[in-house]
Amino acid sequence: MRRLVAPATAAWAAAVLLAGCAAAPGTSRFDYSAGWRSAQIVEIGRAGDLARTADHDCGFGANPAAPYVVVRYHGGGVHTRSLGTVDLPTDPAPRVGDRVYVNILDCAVQSTSGSQRGSVSAASPR
């Protein structure tokens, strides 16, 4: 019986090792070390109305009527941070509650595959 457990354990360990390699740093399209963070859209509107609500404004003096999105992400601690940008994802059209990826280094926002929709709390913690 002891010999049957060892091959099963070895097969399980190999599967875990291979799965870990598939998610190794630097291999993902949304690599954390490259600045990508999982985020959620909390507001969509005009730059002139929303730029002041974000912790970090990436609108860089955009036209006040330009489309603008504010996303909330974890900045490495227990509190979340928000980033506002005119770089909106286009496919599919963004909606409040959508899960996206945001690059905190260059302010890019990309839709997740399948455009996961989620719920957003009215009182977003900071």
Q: Which fold has domain 35-111?
A: OB fold (Dihydrolipoamide Acetyltransferase, E2P) (2.40.50)
pLDDT per residue as tens digits for the range 87-126: 887 778 889 999 999 999 998 888 875 544 444 433 334 3
Q: Could you tell me which residue, 56 or 112, shows the higher pLDDT? A: 56
Residue 61 has pLDDT above 50, yes or no: yes
Q: Which sequence spans correspond to the domains of the chain?
A: 1-26, 35-111
pLDDT per residue as tens digits for the range 26-51: 456 789 999 999 999 999 999 999 99
Q: CB of 60 within 8 A of CB of 112?
A: no
What token pair was written down for 107? 């302010």
Burial 38-75 (b: 16+ CB within 10 A, else e): ebbbbbbeebeebbeebeebbbeebeeeebbbbbbbee
Q: Which residues contact 93 (CB under 8 A, 6 or more apart)?
A: none
Please tell me the distance from the alpha carbon of residue 89 to that of residue 108, in angstroms, as a whole number: 9
Please tell me the distance from the alpha carbon of residue 56 to that of residue 80, in angstroms, as a whole number: 12
Please tell me the distance from the alpha carbon of residue 97 to that of residue 103, in angstroms, as a whole number: 18
Quote the pLDDT of residue 47: 92
Q: What is the pTM of this model?
A: 0.66
